Structure 1
Amino acid sequence: MKPRSAEGAAQAQAVWEALRPEDRAWLLGLAAQAGPGGAALVGGAVRDALLSVTPLDLDVVIPDADVEALAAGTGLPFVFHPAFGNATVTLPDGRAADLVRARREVYPVPGGNPLPQPASLTDDLRRRDFSLNALALRVFPDGRAELLDVTGGLEDLRARVLRPLHTDSLREDASRLVRAARLAARLNLSAAPELLSQVPAALDMAGHTPRLWAELKLLLHEPRPGRAAARLRDWGAASLLPDTALLDALDARRDAGATLPMNAYAAALLHAAPDPEALAARLDLGTRPAALLARALSDTFYPDGMPERELRALLRPDAHEPLTGKDVLALGVPPGRGVGEALAHLADLRRAGTLGSAEAERAALKAFLETKVR
């Protein structure tokens, strides 16, 4: 399939020029080794290049050649996955690139893993989730490159619309709903009516789609997780997550310059969850978010900028910052054992719930020190 207009040629050139020089050289080498069918850069890399979003993830479909042999022929480290016939190649700079043989997919059971079947590049593009993820830059052995759009993805990209490719797309794989929210938030996309009409079916299948939990965990890694969660709420899928108001608040703090790790967002979700342990298990969060939440809810002092302090400001807005060793020293207590005793006394009073403000802490500390003087 050749470019049908000067615009198509210009778009192909734009994608090509958005790639790093070393990535262009690697793709040309793959195309030469793959034979007449060449190699096709697909999905997110093409979409993001046309939106001027970087960096680009390299996902390459091989229409005709043996993927394992091709990966071995690059001379780079790789891992071959026989079940789907794809290989993950480690590029010289440490990035991962995926090579996969062109395929179609059949879902024997909605929500389950699809069964891959050999197919053409066009079939491979048509099996994808959204039209703007079904664009491809095909590179031929002679160095030619052309843009393929078999699903109307370019028009949807210009309109910044997310449109599923099939009427049962979200029922077959409910995780696509969460992926759509992530993309919509990150790239400022709107949902097509075809997507919104499939939301109820996706929610019906959510409990039968293990991949959905992996997508929800990826949502927490987005630049603005609260924005992605808000898309789910707006689309009628708020039930997939506990109350996400805290994620919105953390987004606002990120926008103001705060450094907040993924674990801070995960901790906020756990705080809102009716069953935090069950949610942590489903999202495979490990123990760090829960530990961070416990520290944020404690009375331990944390300096400005620490995620514990940022979370505490949201979870306990009326909480005061506890006195520290510096405060004890400022009251004339010499360095040493006396400082530790004073801090331990304050900690006991906090646990008893008798200190409600910094002023109360200072008064209690002064009273404690007076007893030591006597």
Structure 2
Amino acid sequence: MAQGSEPRRPDLADQVWGHLQPADQAWLARLAALAQTAAPQARVALVGGAVRDALLGRTPLDLDVVVDGASVQALAEATGWPLTFHPTYQNATLTLPDGRTADLVQARRETYPVLGANPQPWPGTLEDDLRRRDFGLNALALMVRPKAQPVLLDEVGGLEDLRLRQLRPLYAQSLHEDASRLVRGARLAARLDLQASPALLAQVPQALQLAPRTPRLWAELKLLLQEPRPGRAARCLHTWGAGTLLPGLDLLEALDLWQAEGAQVPWTIYAAVTLAASDHPAGLATRLNLGDRPAALLERARSDRPFAPASPERLLRRLLRPDAYAPLTGRDVVALGVPPGPAVGAALAHLSALRQAGQVCSAAEERAALQTYLGSRP
């Protein structure tokens, strides 16, 4: 029997089951019954993050289910819920009645004919499917049985990793085959307060070598910028020796601090500061598939246009240019004596030119320059 295979730990199995929402318990039990009706030897297991989170005392929200010995497509269709079927991997994404999604995964093995590219799937067992995963604590499973208590499966020693709160790759070439696992690990470490195992740290140089030809790594970096605290995840990469993957660590951590103090910081600001810190922002934006919004936000923040105090532009400007001030607005110049109408635009254009030339550096200097400007007009 493999290390830790199918331990009889009813206490832990009950803990995982008890952290599931009642509706999720019901449809998982129904799914297991459907599978065994179709094929008596079929097995259905909740795997990965849901099991991990439940054992950490968190309510699982993302549900991944492995099906071994029965057709995923047939089971998905039997639920009667909206679904998308992915024939390459024989997986299905279900839309649950409450609007969440759940993935049904056909048990499989994987090989990597080309490093960094998508893996080649092969039919496999539930145990094979657990062994192909990224980290030990993500390879735990709860086998759901329609007429018996659920069983916790620990095929690779994930319970010990969870006790140590460590991220351990499952084999020596894990990050070499798929460098995106490095960034996924940083996201998990930041979110769940985990540590990198020596085995993970030993594989970082290989992951960095493969990074340029691993598209999924760049997709994971974009997801990192959308984490609750991206600066913490970036700090993990830096600590592990992979800080070159994402520039602007100090700026990202500063944004985390502002969030902790109550500021609303959308992910586009995090993305914008990575572009600001990059030597090749256009290339980075393309690799991360950021779209146009972060670059446009950065351009506005670097301009001398006025923005509301709580706006993303002002927040980003405050971070990138701590000495920046709020320039005078149209309302300000009217209050200082500029007559309404075209003269307002002319006065603002004059002040803008002075700012760009570095001749005014504060709102007080702008007011003085405006008085000089008004006094010089015929």
TM norm structure 1: 0.94
Alignment of 1:1-374 (within 5 A): 3-4=7-8, 8-35=9-36, 36=40, 37-142=42-147, 144-333=149-338, 335-371=340-376
Deviation per CA, 1:196-229, whole angstroms, max 9, x where unpaired? Answer: 1111111122222121111111111111111111
The letter for the 1-side match of 2:183 is: V
The letter for the 1-side match of 2:80 is: G
Cα separation, 2, equivalents of 1:138 and 1:218: 30
Cα separation, 1, equivalents of 2:350 and 2:277: 32
Judge conservation of contact 1:28–1:143 (CA < 8 Å) in 2: no
What secondary structure, in the 3-state scheme, does the structure 2 residue paired with 1:303 have?
Answer: coil
Q: 1:335 to 1:16 in 2, by over 3 A?
A: farther
Q: Give the CA RMSD over aligned residues.
A: 1.7
Judge conservation of contact 2:49–2:60 (CA < 8 Å) in 1: no
Judge conservation of contact 1:137–1:145 (CA < 8 Å) in 2: yes
The letter for the 2-side match of 1:9 is: P
**1:185 Cα shift?**
0.9
Cα separation, 2, equivalents of 1:64 and 1:116: 16
Cα separation, 1, equivalents of 2:334 and 2:19: 58
Judge conservation of contact 1:163–1:194 (CA < 8 Å) in 2: yes
Judge conservation of contact 1:32–1:38 (CA < 8 Å) in 2: no
- Between 1:344-353 and 1:25-34, the stretch displaced more is 344-353
**1:244 Cα shift?**
2.1
Cα separation, 1, equivalents of 2:162 and 2:362: 54
- Identify unmatched segments of 5+ residues in structure 1: none
Judge conservation of contact 1:30–1:38 (CA < 8 Å) in 2: no
What secondary structure, in the 3-state scheme, does the structure 1 residue paired with 2:162 have?
Answer: helix
What secondary structure, in the 3-state scheme, does the structure 2 residue paired with 1:299 have?
Answer: coil
**1:352 Cα shift?**
3.1
Provide the identity percentage: 63
What secondary structure, in the 3-state scheme, does the structure 2 residue paired with 1:180 have?
Answer: helix
Judge conservation of contact 1:49–1:56 (CA < 8 Å) in 2: no
What secondary structure, in the 3-state scheme, does the structure 1 residue paired with 2:289 have?
Answer: coil
What secondary structure, in the 3-state scheme, does the structure 1 residue paired with 2:241 have?
Answer: coil
Deviation per CA, 1:29-48, whole angstroms, max 9, x where unpaired? Answer: 11111114342110011111
Cα separation, 1, equivalents of 2:340 and 2:153: 72
Judge conservation of contact 2:85–2:91 (CA < 8 Å) in 1: yes
TM norm structure 2: 0.93
Which portions of structure 1, spanning 4 or more consecutive aligned residues, are displaced by more than 6 angstroms?
A: none
Cα separation, 2, equivalents of 1:360 and 1:54: 56
Judge conservation of contact 2:166–2:194 (CA < 8 Å) in 1: yes
- Identify unmatched segments of 5+ residues in structure 2: none
What secondary structure, in the 3-state scheme, does the structure 2 residue paired with 1:198 have?
Answer: helix
Cα separation, 1, equivalents of 2:11 and 2:314: 50
**1:297 Cα shift?**
0.8
Deviation per CA, 1:115-146, whole angstroms, max 9, x where unpaired? Answer: 11111111111111100000111111225311
**1:371 Cα shift?**
4.3
The letter for the 1-side match of 2:163 is: R
Judge conservation of contact 1:131–1:156 (CA < 8 Å) in 2: yes
Cα separation, 1, equivalents of 2:12 and 2:155: 15
**Paired positions, count:** 370
**1:317 Cα shift?**
1.1
- Between 1:186-195 and 1:37-46, the stretch displaced more is 37-46
What secondary structure, in the 3-state scheme, does the structure 2 residue paired with 1:76 have?
Answer: coil
The letter for the 2-side match of 1:84 is: Y
